[in-house]
Amino acid sequence: MRAILEKIARWWALLGGAILLLIALVTVTNAGAFLADRVARSFGATVSGLPGYEDFVRLAISAAALMMIPYCQQRRGHVVIAFFVAKLPAVARRALDRISSGAMALLALFLAYWMWLGMAETEADHALSRVLGWPEWPFYLPGIVSLVLWGLIAAVQTLEPRGHG
């Protein structure tokens, strides 16, 4: 179970990274069009940028950002202040970590539940992005999957001592 979840989180994060690279490529194209427009204007012509570029970035980053969190949890990458408990016995530190991981699992699943409701509401409201006019609700889906995956990974970590992630 643990190995499968880790593999999924890794590939899910890589997919998020691929979206990030796509954003970078689209940004370069848009910036290129902007520069070409500057040049073309001196010859009386125009080159248009990508319509709805900011809309696209906003929607794409909403997916990419959340897709990275499960892997961050898997690597126990969330920032902690270790200084004050560094002198505690290992058993106590492990217990604190388990409680944190358990709370993290509950929080992730709590957020997944509410985001699911949010997606249903956004669909019912026919919410569209401002320029592209794309429906927003499908962009909630990667986030919900990410939150469930995050919750499952944190739940598995609750059962295991720190340092094996």
Partner 1 sequence: MGERELIGLAGLVALFVLLALRVPVGLAMVAVGIGGNYALSLVVPYLRFDPFLKQFKTLLWNVVANYELSVVPLFILMGFLASHANLSRDLFQGVNALVGRLRGGVAMAAVTACAGFGAVCGSSLATASTMGRVALPELRRMRYAPTLATGSLAAGGTLGILIPPSVALVIYAIIVEASIIEMFQAAIIPGIIAVLFFLGVIAALVRLRPDAAPPAAPMDAGERRKALIRLAPVVMLFGAIVLGLGAGLFTPTPAAGVGVVAVLGYGLLLRLRGEGLTVSGIKLSVLETAVTSGMIYFILFGAEVLKGFFSRAGLPAALAQWAGASGLDPWIILIVMLAILIVLGCFMESLAMILVVVPFFWPTLVDLNGGDYASATTAAYGLSTDELKIWFGILALVVVELGLITPPVGLNVFIIASIAKDTPMGEVFRGVMPFFGVEIVRVGLLLAFPVLALLLPRLVAG
Check binding of 82 to partner 1 (CB under 8 A): yes
Rounded to whole angstroms, how far apart are CA atoms 98 and 24?
Answer: 38
Check binding of 10 to partner 1 (CB under 8 A): yes
Interactions with partner 1, residue window 122-161 (CB under 8 A): 122, 139-140, 143
Q: Which of 162, 118, 144 is nearest to 12 (CA)?
A: 144
Check binding of 43 to partner 1 (CB under 8 A): no
Closer CB to partner 1, 44 or 77, in the complex: 77
- Other CB atoms within 10 A of residue 12 CB: 22
Among 51, 77, 131, 138, binds partner 1 (CB under 8 A): 77
Those residues with Cβ within 8 angstroms of residue 67's Cβ, 6 or more apart along the chain or in another chain: 12, 13, 15, 16, 19, 142, 146
Check binding of 81 to partner 1 (CB under 8 A): yes
Closer CB to partner 1, 64 or 156, in the complex: 64
Q: Which of 122, 116, 108 is nearest to 151 (CA)?
A: 108
Rounded to whole angstroms, how far apart are CA atoms 114 and 92?
Answer: 33
* Site residues, partner 1 (CB under 8 A): 10, 13-14, 16-18, 20-21, 23-28, 30-31, 34, 54, 57-59, 61-62, 64-73, 75, 77-85, 93, 96-97, 100, 103-104, 107, 110-111, 114-115, 117-118, 121-122, 139-140, 143
